[in-house]
């Protein structure tokens, strides 16, 4: 029996990622003799990082000593202190923070200025969340990060003492996570100001993937294991149908029996997954039925 393979429309680079990758490539082409550094991985995808490395664009965790050139702030954003340091050290600053992430930073700042106790719904160790928190911390020390109700519960006493609670969300978070945290906050807060900052690309991607999961035996999620939006996709879909999360087509070999036994297969991908990686996965699954 031939397989029915569906490829999600909302799969692969979102506009923020596309903008970041294309801008860095253009910067290198226009400044062949300048050193270009990216502070942290531009996006969470090893293939893209390697491609940029091959072009001579250097990914670094800390600003290099005794160097000059262009320093790129990645799509996840950075703290105000880091932005200041880049310029003080004499680098040409190119800020490629995703516009949607910038909006979250601005909303968190506004809530802090308004005197709200700020709750960031997201993973504390994620670079986007670290930068959002650092921006809000310029105006308040009443700020916490929580990715589930248990983490939030530890701060219940502090939250109860505060009249107003302001909530922003990591752009790639699950709507279900936000809903559960809000449901809990309602029980301990007098006044809640929610700014739902889950980006439209994430919302559409998750919605479409859920629909595909309901009509397919198997969903293949393609993208880095370090990518928050990709791992959230896989988590959501596992509750609906059989789901595998792979980084590239080589990993399909591990799931050969599952692929063989599935007649209806959907493929989706995270916002930092290159199109050629998605295409290779599609071709390998398609080729496997011959």
Active site residues: 128
Q: Find out whether 29 and 2 touch, Cβ atoms under 8 Å.
A: no
Are 58 and 36 spatial neighbours (Cβ–Cβ below 8 Å)? yes
The alpha carbon dihedral of 264, 205, 227, 29 has a sign of positive
Q: Identify the three-state secondary structure at position 121.
A: strand
Residues in the chain: 290
Q: Are 252 and 259 in contact (CB under 8 A)?
A: yes
Eight-class DSSP state of 263: S
**What residues pair up with 147 in beta bridges, in sequence order?**
none
d(CA 130, CA 116): 19
CA dihedral 170, 227, 133, 206 (to 10 degrees): 0
CA dist., res. 219 & res. 215, Å (int)? 10
Helices (runs of H) and strands (runs of E) counted in the chain: 12, 12
Q: Are 116 and 193 in contact (CB under 8 A)?
A: yes
Nearest Cα residue to 282 out of 271, 260, 270, 266:
266
- Cα(283)–Cα(70) distance, rounded to whole angstroms? 38
For helices 15-30 and 99-113, give the axis angle rounded to 10 degrees. Answer: 110
């Amino acid at each position: 029996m031939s397989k029915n393979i569906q490829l999600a429309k909302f799969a692969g680079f979102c506009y923020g990622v596309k903008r970041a990758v294309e801008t860095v490539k253009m910067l290198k082409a226009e400044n062949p003799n300048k050193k270009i550094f990216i502070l942290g991985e531009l996006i969470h995808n090893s293939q893209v990082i390697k491609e940029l490395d091959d072009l001579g664009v250097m990914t670094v965790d800390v600003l290099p000593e005794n160097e000059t050139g262009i320093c790129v702030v990645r799509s996840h954003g950075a703290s105000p202190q880091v932005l200041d340091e880049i310029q003080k050290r004499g680098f040409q600053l190119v800020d490629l923070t995703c516009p949607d992430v910038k909006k979250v930073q601005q909303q968190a700042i506004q809530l802090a200025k308004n005197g709200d106790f700020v709750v960031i719904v997201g993973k504390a160790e994620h670079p986007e969340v670290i930068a959002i928190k650092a921006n809000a911390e310029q105006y308040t020390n009443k700020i916490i990060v929580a990715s589930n109700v248990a983490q939030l519960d530890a701060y219940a006493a502090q939250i109860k003492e505060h009249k107003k609670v302001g909530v922003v969300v990591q752009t790639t978070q699950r709507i279900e996570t936000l809903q559960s945290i809000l449901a809990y906050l309602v029980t301990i807060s007098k006044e809640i100001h929610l700014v739902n900052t889950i980006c439209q690309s994430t919302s559409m991607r998750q919605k479409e993937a859920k629909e595909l999961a309901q009509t397919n035996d198997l969903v293949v999620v393609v993208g880095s294991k370090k990518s928050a939006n990709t791992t959230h996709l896989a988590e959501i879909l596992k509750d609906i149908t059989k789901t595998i999360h792979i980084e590239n087509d080589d990993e399909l070999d591990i799931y050969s029996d599952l692929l063989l036994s599935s007649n209806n297969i959907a493929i989706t991908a995270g916002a930092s997954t290159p199109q050629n990686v998605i295409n290779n996965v599609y071709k390998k699954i398609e080729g496997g039925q011959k």
